[in-house]
Amino acid sequence: MFGTVIRRLLVLLVSLLCIMLILEPTKAYAETDTNCKGQRLILTLLSPKIEEQLTLFYKDRLNEKPTFAPFLGGYDLKLEYHDSHIIAHVTVEPYVGPHLSVGQDLITFHIDNSGEVKVTAYQHLKNYELPPHWRKVVIPTATFRQM
């Protein structure tokens, strides 16, 4: 009788452990996935403004217009929530050609409660050197100082 009780307790403990192991990673993934989806949604909505700023900054520096894709990664998004507006700090790595990063830039947006988006700051953080066969897109007299 004592052996039967021990076996049942062991089966119960193993079952509980299996359920915990199965459910916990799913829960952690769901939380992370929701956060990533929310960031991707914000970046997708801001993409036209981001592309506009990248075009303005790189127009005198590159012969080819760099692009940005929120679904590829290479970005960082920090949000500050206020009663009357939201401040979004977006760090992006624009690229040319087959996803060759040309630099890293920080763009700050002011989003008011009516949905109007204004760029309040643009900062070029760093340059990335392109491979030799892509260096032809860099304008020789270009400077990459902060804007």
Reported residue count of the chain is 147
Please give the Cα distance from 97 to 136 (Å, whole number): 12
CA 63 to chain centre: 26
Structure tokens at 100: 């060759």
Q: What is the pLDDT of residues 71-105, one digit of tens each?
A: 777 788 999 999 999 999 999 999 999 889 999 99
Please give the Cα distance from 145 to 132 (Å, whole number): 22
Structure tokens at 20: 């915990």
Longest dimension (CA), the chain: 89
Annotate the chain with DSSP letters as a single string.
Answer: -HHHHHHHHHHHHHHHHHHHHHHHHHHHHHHHHHHHHHHHHHHHHHHHHHHHHHHHHHTTTBSS--B--TTS--EEEEEEE-SSEEEEEEEE--EETTTEE-EEEEEEEEEETT--EEEEEEEEEEE-PPPGGGGGGB-TT------
Q: Which of 102, 84, 80 is nearest to 93 (CA)?
A: 102
pLDDT, residue 31, reads: 39
Q: What is the pLDDT of residues 29-52, one digit of tens each?
A: 343 455 677 888 888 899 999 999
- Tell me the pTM: 0.72
Please give the Cα distance from 89 to 96 (Å, whole number): 23
- The percentage of residues in the chain with a pLDDT greater than 70, rounded to a whole number, is 75
pLDDT, residue 38, reads: 81
